Amino acid sequence: MVTYKFNRESRLLTPGHFQRVFSKPTRYGSHHFTLLITPSDKNSTVDPNNRLGLAIAKKRVKLAVQRNRIKRLVRESFRLNQHKLPDIDIVVMVKSGIDQLDNNQINQQLEKIWRKIIQRHKK
């Protein structure tokens, strides 16, 4: 059964989790996003399929309101697509100018990236 939950286990929480992704990532990108992914840690005690981390820099998106909006949209898009993705850890970073886009444009870019990841990781 497919669950659409986004709970604590679905998130990268510690600096160590982020460091694992930053050390040897595969990069995916669009005009306004850079996604770094690595295969999930199989030795982990919990068994999450994939986990999401957000690194939305204040330097790229000045207003907290806009940063929070982008984080919400990314989390929601991940929540709806996580069951299609392979077992990976993802860190999402943004590029300047993303705060000028509306929600629909952001969602379209994320959908495109999810499709690309799914395509490249077919077994």
**Hey, what domains does the chain have and what are their CATH numbers?**
8-121 (3.30.230.10)
Residues of 5-26 as b/e, b for ≥16 C-beta within 10 angstroms? eeeeebbbeeeebbebbeeebe
State residue 49's pLDDT score. 76
State residue 25's pLDDT score. 94
More confident residue, 5 or 111: 111
Question: How many CB atoms within 10 Å of residue 58?
Answer: 9
Residue linked to tokens 């799914």: 118
**Residue 48 pLDDT greater than 80, yes or no:** no
State residue 4's pLDDT score. 84
Rounded Cα–Cα distance for residues 56 and 59 (Å): 9
Residue 63: both structure tokens together: 């207003």
